[in-house]
A and B are shown apart, each in its own frame.
Chain A
Amino acid sequence: MTTVSAPVQATRNLRPSWEEPHTKAGQTGKGAVLLVTVALVIVPLWMVVITSFSTQGSVNRAGGMVLVPHGLTVEAYHQIFTNQLIIHSLIVSLAITVIGTVLSMVTTVLCAYGLSRSGSYGHRTILMVLVVTMFFSGGLIPTFLVVSALGGYDNYWSLVLPSAVSVFNILVMRGFFAGTAQELIDAASIDGAGDWRTLWSVVLPTSRAVTAVIALFYAVGYWNTFFNALLYLPDNNKWPLQMVIYTYTLQGSALPGTGVTNTGQYFGTQQIAPLAIQMAVVTLTLVPILLIYPSVQRHFTKGMLLGAIKG
């Protein structure tokens, strides 16, 4: 009897045979900790999204943020998509994200590949030039003065160019190119492919994972641009989305065109809660991240592991 059932038992749960059986208290404790951890992330996001779809009545009934929906409406989205300021900030955010990511990826991939061949001419010196910037930076004021002197003040490019290159990302990618693709590179060069050709048709197609992860890092960085906008863009007609949230949701200034303030005053005519409008804008910034994240997420460990090893 026991000899027959033992192997079945072993295959059913993955616990190795030498390990002690799990205690009930231990399992419950672990489960509870994980559940609380996950809830701490999910519940606030849920409340933000649900509140953005809630009617004034529903928000009043909850006394603010809504946990359990009563009466849903898309009125808040109708409001924000007819608001000039929000539409424009959305376009600015999307544009700097797309343009910035392309620019960052081109410079990063080229530089990483250019430095990936050990023993190539001057690569040690260039590497040194890169690494020094990780240890010492001029700081905020000199950077501000340089960008302003180049005409970046009140100009969109100040959101992109000063932060276009991340040395950390170059080093992660360089480690990947040097480690995994070397044999393929050698084979390609025997076949007569030059460096540009090798990069484009051999190295890039074999490094999709790390390319995807780093592109995500850059894209998220541009999408979340806040401080550079605060620093360089005094004109609210040029603001990206994060600046709009900061000013109209966190600081509570009235959003032009809606009369919505943080204190809940409401001057419009529609049956729509000001809080819902604020949460709709917040939801808007969540959407692109939630859309792209699942497809890239499975590559994280690979990309980050190499990054961690290379420091």
Chain B
Amino acid sequence: MTAIPKAPPAVPACPAPSVAGVRKRDERRRRFRRDRALLIMTAPAVLLLVVFNYVPMFGTATAFQSYSIYAGFMHSPWTGLTTFRSLFADPTFWSALQNTLVLSLVQLVLFFPIPIALAMLLNSIMSNKVRTVVQSIVYLPHFFSWVLAITIFQEMLGGAGALNQFLRQHGIATWDIMTNPDTFKFLVTAQVVWKEAGWGIIVFLAALAAIDQNLYEAAAVDGAGRWRRMWHITLPGIRSIVVLMLVLRLGNILTVGFEQLLIQRDAVGRDASEVLDTYAFYYGVVNANFSLGAAASLFKGVLSLILILAANKIAHLVGEDGLYRK
């Protein structure tokens, strides 16, 4: 009759320690073979990340060298903590750190609540049409570059801008906001509000839409007025997302508009506009003191990592998920 195909002799590739071990290894090999295509698909992105993110991560070691562009990474002398000592001895560095924190805190107080308020206002508008039109207009500046946004501010509020034309024509003293170092932190915040507040409402709108409408009806029937419903239903309903956004903001407190400040540095001067990132750029690249710049970046990177983890911890303590779950 039909020949029964002989089973191929099982030849173990190497002596197996135990039956369970073999099974586990075979299982992994089977899964690898099954998912080979998926692994190949991730390769280009992983390759780019390794070259442009991981290699520079190890490149932070230049902070512990006296890096010279001619000697390169391999041949520059190692100097231990000398760079950090000169970094911490530099008063410009401390003023950059102070500017960073001041700008972040001003933005936290003056910017952070605006998208929430705007989202709640927009959510209370019944007409779908009005809502859609307003949304598409306020999202728009998010897609402009900082060069464009600041050009627009310059043409509106600058010395020769629209506001000062108006003041001049009416014989009122002109007011140059764009070059005043004292009010610069508020100018920067106003620019961030103009560019990002509209886009910022998107997550809060989504959270508001997810609130169960029956809660409002039940509360109204029980006699809760408009403000009490907002306090007891709306605000608790968006609490999680507000905490998440706050955690993200706190974790990024050392990152304030790098391009935004770089562009305006010439107009308002270094004293008002220097932050950690621009410090690293000017000392590291422009003045070619690569080790000092790398030390400033590393200082910021490590502190930011600690801040993100701490902010998450706080979120967990107040009973929210934060950026990741416990």
Residues of A within 8 A of B67 (CB): 145
Select B147's contact among A41, A42, A226, A308, beta carbons within 8 Å.
A226
Q: In this complex, which of A51, A108, A139 has the most chain B Cβ atoms within 10 angstroms of its Cβ?
A: A139
Residues of B within 8 A of A107 (CB): 44-45, 48
Contacts A120-B31, A123-B38 given: A16-B217 contact, CB under 8 Å? yes
Q: Bound complex: CA of A33 vs CA of B32, how far in Å?
A: 58
Contact B57 A138 (CB under 8 A): yes
Interface residues on A, range: 35 or more
Contacts A19-B220, A120-B38, A308-B206 given: A245-B161 contact, CB under 8 Å? no
Chain A 281-298 interface mask (CB, 8 Å, partner B; 1/0): 010011001000110010
Residues of A within 8 A of B160 (CB): 64, 264
Q: Bound complex: CA of A273 vs CA of B148, how far in Å?
A: 20
Interface segment out of the listed B3-11, B14-22, B93-101, B138-146: B138-146
- Is A30 interfacial (CB-CB < 8 Å)? yes
For chain A residues 19-64, which have a beta carbon within 8 Å of chain B? 19-20, 30, 33-34, 37-38, 40-42, 44-45, 47-48, 51, 62-64
Chain B 141-164 interface mask (CB, 8 Å, partner A; 1/0): 101111110111011100011100
- Is A99 interfacial (CB-CB < 8 Å)? no
Residues of B within 8 A of A226 (CB): 145-147, 259
Chain B nearest Cβ from A7, distance in angstroms: 18
- Is A190 interfacial (CB-CB < 8 Å)? no
Residues of A within 8 A of B277 (CB): 140
Contact B298 A41 (CB under 8 A): no
Contact B34 A121 (CB under 8 A): yes
Tell me the interface secondary structure of chain B in the complex: helix
Contacts A41-B138, A308-B203 given: A142-B38 contact, CB under 8 Å? no
Q: Bound complex: CA of A211 vs CA of B272, how far in Å?
A: 41
Residues of A within 8 A of B59 (CB): 138, 141-143, 145-146
- Is B205 interfacial (CB-CB < 8 Å)? yes
Q: Bound complex: CA of A163 vs CA of B304, how far in Å?
A: 21
- Is B46 interfacial (CB-CB < 8 Å)? yes
Select B198's contact among A18, A41, A227, beta carbons within 8 Å.
A41
- Is A181 interfacial (CB-CB < 8 Å)? no
Contact A41 B141 (CB under 8 A): yes
Contact A300 B202 (CB under 8 A): yes
Chain B nearest Cβ from A96, distance in angstroms: 13
Chain A 177-207 interface mask (CB, 8 Å, partner B; 1/0): 0000000000000000011100100000000
Contact B143 A289 (CB under 8 A): yes
- Is A224 interfacial (CB-CB < 8 Å)? yes
- Is B35 interfacial (CB-CB < 8 Å)? yes
Chain A nearest Cβ from B303, distance in angstroms: 11
- Is A101 interfacial (CB-CB < 8 Å)? no
Known pairs A20-B226, A37-B138; list 16 more (Cβ under 8 Å). Answer: A20-B225, A47-B156, A139-B298, A140-B284, A140-B293, A145-B56, A145-B73, A146-B59, A150-B51, A242-B147, A250-B154, A279-B155, A297-B139, A300-B202, A301-B202, A304-B206
